[in-house]
Amino acid sequence: MSDEPHSMEHFFIGPDGKRVTLADLPPRDLLNLTSPQKSMVVGAVRNGLITISEACERYHLSRDEYLHWHGSFAGEASGERP
């Protein structure tokens, strides 16, 4: 038995079938995210990895900016096809 506490790593499965964790998200404070990075952030929020507030804080977004991303990438981030 290990003395280290067992911690569950939070993740979601991205549209490519791979696990996405906090470590996989774009770096904090990155100002010019690419479309795939925006999609990953939207997927992280949709799947409960981070909250909208956390996404806005991490990437210096207004709530309206995030909602624009959500409208653009929600289907892609969840693996849905239009």
Phi, psi values for residue 12, rounded to 5°: -140, 165
- pTM (2 d.p.): 0.78
CA–CA gap between residue 14 and residue 78 (Å, rounded): 7
**Mean pLDDT for all residues in the chain:** 84
Q: What is the pLDDT of residues 31-71, one digit of tens each?
A: 899 999 999 999 999 999 999 999 999 999 999 999 999 99
